[in-house]
Amino acid sequence: MKSQAIPAALFMRNRFRLAALMSPGAVALIKSGERKLRNGDQFYPFRQNSDFFYLTGIDLGECVFAFTPDHSTPNLREILFIKRPTLKSELWMGHTPDPEKIQALSGIVKVLWLEELDAFLRLLISDEKLVYTDHKAFADQFARISPLAPLLQSLRMIKQPEEIGEIRKAVAITRSAFQRVLMKAGPGLYEYQVEAEIIAEFIGSGAEGHAFEPIVACGKNALTLHYVENNCSCEEGELLLIDFGAELNHYAADCSRTIPVSGRFTRRQRLLYDAVLRIFRKARDLMVPGTLMTDFHQAVGEMWEEEHIALGLYSREDVNLYTVDEPLWKNFFMHGISHSMGLNVHDPFDRSLPFEAGMVLSCEPGIYISDEKLGIRLENDILITDKGPVDLMEDIPIEAEEIEELMNRKS
């Protein structure tokens, strides 16, 4: 981790909240992420299992966390099993934090070596005991199994103050990266060079890197919703859509902006851009407690229908030729309006439940017109509160005039 560690109080509170959802006397078993071999002695970058991090705050691989809400055995209520370091492993991979350091990071008092796990499982988990786990290796060992993921999903949907703080930090770095792009973007630059400016700002600011594979799509490339090749030249008169976000302490930001490569929107581009911005603001206002995701998406689609007609994309008569299940507006706005965010850029979320205070959700309307070889998307991260939506990205430039001004200031 490049950034300052999150205080252990968050992870202790997460475990306390999980205990309240578990059956008395049950045990939860959760594995950390594992380093994945790439070739030879080279591994892919390690990324911790988000659920494991949520409960422990520990960024080590090859660990197991055992947890029970049973207060009758306080010494065995929380145990973290870590792999015993060797001289060879520490020579190649560096020092493993000692148990005292792990205790300080996680608040977990009992830290044992991973080689002691099997004895723990044999002695303390009987056939009658309920085991919460999402790992097949554990599930095959016990008679009574229940998935842990639904319990953690219900907790992770509502962000704690410390989590919101980390997301805000990731957003601030994302903002700096966008400002850097505005200073650098122009005709002749390649999409991957724009991507390079983004990652340089992320790493230079202490983020782990991208929260997801970035989209840097110029012109018709923006019509591919998950375009990630990022290998084409940015040409005069085209629009450049970027969908990107920093990851800090495993927490994600997710931002989309669309800018004119030449530094000025054409008249038609500006009409389309302003329509997306109007939809964004109207949609953001709907992000209040009690809103259902499906109703939210439908409401935005109906807003788009009116905008599409005003933009000349189709007529009112054309609308009537389509069904309610497959409306015409979906031809120009194909993706969802929102998703949950947190430790993952697409955090676990139950779409059947209404929005609640403490949720962090994206708001991302877009318009995609194949005949005009362009796509425009605007996306901010929104905190749901009882007093209305809080836009965590409100200071990232989004007005067309401000974007043009910043792009032309470099000259």
CA dihedral 174, 3, 166, 213 (to 10 degrees): 40
Question: What pLDDT, on a 0 to 100 scale, did the predictor assign at position 76?
Answer: 53
What's the pLDDT band for 14 if we cut at 50, 70, 90?
A: very high
Average predicted confidence (pLDDT) for the chain: 94
Which residue has 């600011």 as its token pair? 205
Q: What is the pLDDT of residues 67-116, one digit of tens each?
A: 998 765 544 589 999 998 878 777 787 788 888 999 999 999 999 999 99
- Please report the pLDDT score of residue 216 as a whole number: 98
- 1 — pLDDT class (breaks 50, 70, 90): low
Q: Is residue 401 scored above 60 in pLDDT?
A: yes
Confirm if 173 and 166 have CB atoms less than 8 A apart: no
Three-state DSSP at 260 gives strand
Q: Inform me whether the pLDDT recorded for 296 exceeds 80.
A: yes
Q: In whole angstroms, how far apart are CA 153 and each of 78, 291, 341, 347?
A: 20, 19, 12, 8
188: its two tokens: 């002749």
The pLDDT of residue 11 is above 90: yes
Residue 167 confidence (pLDDT) above 80: yes
Return the number of other C-beta atoms located less than 10 Å from residue 310's C-beta.
Answer: 10
Distance from the Cα of residue 176 to its chain's centroid: 18
Of 146-155, 188-197, 316-325, least confident by mean pLDDT is: 316-325
pLDDT at 52 over 60: yes
User: E-assigned strands of 209-292?
Assistant: 209-210, 215-218, 239-244, 246-248, 251-252, 255-260
Active site residues: 41, 226, 243, 254, 335, 339, 346, 364, 368, 377, 379
pTM of the model: 0.95
| Mean pLDDT within 279-292 | 98
Is the per-residue pLDDT at 342 higher than 80? yes
Segment 153-173 mean pLDDT: 98
- What is the pLDDT, as a whole number, of residue 281? 98
Q: Average of pLDDT values for 221-225?
A: 98
Question: Which residue from 328, 338, 337 is spatially nearest to 308, judged by alpha carbons?
Answer: 328
State the pLDDT confidence band at 140, using cuts at 50, 70 and 90: confident
pLDDT tens-digit readout, 262-271: 999 999 999 9
Kindly provide the residue ranges of all beta strands, DSSP E only, lying in 61-154, ordered along the sequence.
64-67, 78-82, 110-113, 130-132, 144-146
Q: Name the residue with higher pLDDT: 42 or 52.
A: 52
Residue whose tokens read 């998307």: 377
pLDDT at residue 82 in the model: 95
Q: Which domains does the chain have, with CATH numbers?
A: 8-156 (3.40.350.10), 161-409 (3.90.230.10)
Q: Which of 283, 216, 209 lies closest to 252, judged by CA?
A: 209
Residue 189: what pLDDT? Answer: 97
Q: Could you report the per-residue pLDDT of 224-244, keeping only the tens digit for each? A: 999 999 999 999 999 999 999
The structure tokens listed for 341 are: 């965010």
Q: What is the pLDDT of residue 141?
A: 87
Does residue 3 carry a pLDDT above 80? Answer: no
Q: Which of 134-138, 145-149, 377-381 has the lowest mean pLDDT?
A: 134-138
Q: How confident is the model at residue 187 (pLDDT cuts 50, 70, 90)?
A: very high
Average pLDDT over residues 320-341: 95
Strand partners, 376: 367
